[in-house]
Structure 1
Amino acid sequence: MNEADICWADVICVMEEKHLSRLRTDFRKALKHKVLHVLDIPDDYQFMDPELIELITDAVEPMIDVVN
């Protein structure tokens, strides 16, 4: 993630508190007016693990408007 990604985003979701802390350390100014959510999903999964995808989807879906 870089500052351009943060500026583009309306809502930023991270899996764990340590991820949010890292973002705040690196991008404090850019995060000033952003909506931030910690999903409380342990960062113990492999990339694109189907269980991880399901956990993230279930946690994020209620926060966003999905247009079908």
Structure 2
Amino acid sequence: NKWRSPTGEAMFSRAPGVATRSAGTAHNARHKITVADIRWADMILVMEDKHEQRLRADFRQEVAYKALHVLDIPDDYQFMEDELIDLLREKCEPLIFGQA
């Protein structure tokens, strides 16, 4: 929860009708995901398969009926890096705004 998620949160936080929250699955994440975060969310977007696996293992019941999408964005980017912004737009906008 250092660069990718906070970038996504910053990008979509001002979109009309969208509320965002960034959290990580690692034990050392700046904000580690909680049951409250999962219950709050209508949709959960994760960057990698391992994040989905951690959520399903640690929060099985809480994520069972949530829309959970893996974006397949590797941890190769810095905060608000142009290429990361482009990837997030490409992968998230159809999910968030229903253009899928």
Do these two structures clear the TM 0.5 threshold for a shared fold by scoring above it? yes
TM-score range, shorter chain: 0.7 to 0.9
| Residue matched to 2:18 | none
> How do residues 1-68 of structure 1 correspond to structure 2 at under 5 angstroms?
1-65=33-97
State percent identity of aligned pairs: 59
- The count of corresponding residues between Structure 1 and Structure 2 is 66
- For residue 30 of structure 1, report the CA deviation from its aligned partner: 0.4
SS in 2 for 1:23: helix
Return 5+ residue gaps in structure 1 as ranges: none
Cα deviations across residues 31-54 of structure 1 (Å, max 9, x unaligned)?
010011111111222344332232
Return 5+ residue gaps in structure 2 as ranges: 1-32
Between 1 and 2, higher relative CO (CA 8 Å, sep ≥ 6) is seen in 1
Q: Give me the TM-score of the superposition, normalised by structure 1.
A: 0.81
Q: Give me the TM-score of the superposition, normalised by structure 2.
A: 0.58
SS in 2 for 1:13: strand
